[in-house]
Structure formats: C-alpha cells, structure tokens
Amino acid sequence: MKIAVLQIDIDFENPENNRRKVSEMIDKASAGYPDVILMPEMWNTSFNFETIDDNSDKKGQPSMNLLSEKASKYRVNIVAGSISDKKNNKIYNRSYVINRDGAVIFTYDKIHLVHHANEDKYIEAGNYIDIFELDGVKCGIIICYDLRFPEISRTLALKGAEVIFAPVQWFKSRLDHYEVLCKARALENQVYIVSANRIGKEFKAVFPGHSMVVGPWANILGRMDDREGVLHCEIDLKLIHRIRKKVTCYQDRRPDLYQL
C-alpha cells in the first residue's frame, strides 16, 4: 500500500484558504500515484473556538464535495484527517473516509476530548469504534489525543485493523510524546501507524510537523521535518503476518485476567 501524508499549516480564520491548500496538496501528492492520502486533524478550521461554530462544515460540506471530486479524479482513497463538522447543532471533530469512486464509506468522531484544553465544552465526543476497508485492507482511525489511550488502538487491532491512521495537531513541546506513542501503538498491536501532524503557530502553540509512518516493529519508515509538504511511503502488509506468526502476542493474551 502506497501512502501519501499531507503536512500543512492551517489558517484558523479562513476555511476556504485551507480547502484551497488541501486541494493543491492533493494534486501534488497524486503525482506519486498513492493508494491512500491522509491529512491532519481539524484542517478546515483548527481550534479557534470563538469562530468554530460559524466556520465549521455542515454535515461534511463543502469539504467532502471537494475531496470526493479529487478522490474520483485521481482514483485514490482519502482519509480526510478530521474536520470540525456541525450536525444537529452539535460540532464534532470528525474524520471522513472516501474511496476511489469518491464515495464516503466511513466516518469517525474523536472519542477522547481534551478537557484541560476545554475541547469538551465546544465539541461533542464520539461513542463508537470500528474498522473499514480500503482496497481490501482493514484499517482504523484515531484522532490526536486518542493516541494516549491504548484501549482504542487495541480494540481496532482486535477487530482486524492492520493500518491505523492518526491525524493530529501535536505541540512541539510534546514532540517526544508523539513519537513514543506512535511507536508504542504500532509495536504493541503489530500494525502500521500512519500519522499526519500540522505545522505552524496558533496563539501560543507551536506545531512542529514531523508526520510519520511507523512499522509494526516500531521502526520509523518515513518522517517529515517542520515544513509543508508530502510524505510518500510504501508499506508491506505481508510483514504484519510474518511478525504476528513470529511474536504471538495475540494468541498469548490473557483477557480473562484483564480489568478495564
């Protein structure tokens, strides 16, 4: 599976500008003929809660129209990071998955909201965990803060996920955490973690990029620096089965003794 990860700066006052930039980046990424394109968390509005109600998409529009057209044009799957999306007067940190035909085949709402950053005061938490398939490959999504909760990644892995996509907005001050958590989630679940972070500044926060693809041995297969661009990486899905046959973590589990 060929992956393209979009790493961008986000203008929290201008969703139209963000859509224009994403459109241009998808054009650029598609020149490498990827199977899947991933973008960062909340790329349409970011986290300016003062304007998020006015600037959010409405049931995925207009962002999903744009991405559906791109997916169909380039015959590429798009894991649309996440957007702020308004439905029934509630705002969600929502990810959409679009297949090569331009059809939305899956949505996921961020489950773990950052209470100490007041995210829960403006955004409605999701309440489901499931997987989806891209070209026959079982995949899952977690969003940013979800990385800190191993239960969700393990649940996805037990459901059969081989690739877990992780769009984030991760601070520079916690960049070490970002790398460790991506590696840990990949290693403990014997899956690929594909993560897109943003760059730039927002209020006092600095975002360093360093989007990455981590293999099931916790090895970093590709990583960006702190500039806008596209990370191209090809992953070997057969490796997962070889590793799971060699290191039998799934067979050796003792769920009868675990307490949640």
Residues serving a catalytic function are 41, 110, 144
Residue 170 tokens, joined = 């991760």
Alpha helices in 5-102 (DSSP H): 15-30, 52-55, 63-74
Pairing state of beta strands 212-214 and 192-196?
Answer: antiparallel
Residue 13 tokens, joined = 């006052």
Closest CA to 26 of 71, 61, 56: 71
Query: What is the distance, to the nearest Å, from the Cα of residue 247 to the centroid of all Cα atoms in its chain?
Result: 27
Residue 202 tokens, joined = 């927002």
The DSSP output letter for 9 is B
The DSSP output letter for 237 is T
Q: What whole-number distance in Å separates Cα of residue 77 and Cα of residue 30? A: 11
The DSSP output letter for 103 is -
Report the chain's C-alpha Rg in angstroms.
17
**Enclosing H/E stretch for 141:** strand 137-141
Closest CA to 126 of 157, 92, 151: 92
Residue 182 tokens, joined = 């991506």
